[in-house]
Structure 1
């Protein structure tokens, strides 16, 4: 799994009419991180898909990464950081300082370097 494109094939989750979760309390599952993406440290990625559209074009979930530096190629994503801190450098673009409460939009194809200072947990929505 890359840092935020969530390339692991998620198991489709039946969509209830409505639901709520406490993001900090959701039990996360191990997720793949390509060793080629790791620049430094020993980051570990976990996540949980909460909902996926029947056509697989929209995915919503929770994702977490422990400290380290990784590269990624992004998907179209909106996320909100609920815990932790990171600096995300977008190639040819901005350097984003993320912490609890930060809302971030990344564009499909953005090449990024994530420096995770404190274990970061986010709630995300990806559209393909």
Structure 2
């Protein structure tokens, strides 16, 4: 087979662009046991997921309040809002518009959301 023969390659997801600040998001469940204070509401949108479900890219938003979470292996960039993320046994991260953040799988975190936070993310499992 010649190197220019791509007929056997599987179909790929087409390239795309999304306006993260303007994207319409859908309601997501937030386990009441995760809420420490306030009445935070979570919305999101999956933009792409690998066939095996081990990689996910999307947009996520949370309104003000304090919540706990156990993290996945994630890279995200904040496009709006502000939060303090306390990593149990680790750093306290201050994030806002333009912040890139990496969380490790298994990190136990407490998110204090000061202003509705919207992020674009990539998760690997």
Q: TM-score, normalised by structure 1?
A: 0.88
Q: Which residue of 2 aligns with 1:70?
A: 67
Q: Which residue of 1 aligns with 2:117?
A: 120
1:2-41 matches, within 5 Å, as: 16-41=13-38
Q: Which residue of 2 aligns with 1:83?
A: 80
**Alpha-carbon distance between aligned partners in 2 of 1:91 and 1:55, rounded to the nearest angstrom:** 30
- Regions of 4+ moved over 4 Å: none
What's the Cα RMSD here?
0.7
Corresponding pairs, count: 114
Q: Which residue of 1 aligns with 2:97?
A: 100
User: Per-residue displacement from partner, 1:52-110 (whole Å, max 9, x unpaired)?
Assistant: 00010000000000000000000000000000000000000000000000000000000
User: Per-residue displacement from partner, 1:12-42 (whole Å, max 9, x unpaired)?
Assistant: xxx6320000001110000010000000000
**Alpha-carbon distance between aligned partners in 1 of 2:60 and 2:83, rounded to the nearest angstrom:** 14
Q: Any gaps of 5 or more consecutive residues in structure 1?
A: 1-14
**Alpha-carbon distance between aligned partners in 2 of 1:126 and 1:16, rounded to the nearest angstrom:** 17
Give the structure with higher Rg (CA): 2
3-state SS of paired residue (2:33): helix
**Alpha-carbon distance between aligned partners in 2 of 1:18 and 1:81, rounded to the nearest angstrom:** 22
Q: Any gaps of 5 or more consecutive residues in structure 2?
A: 1-11
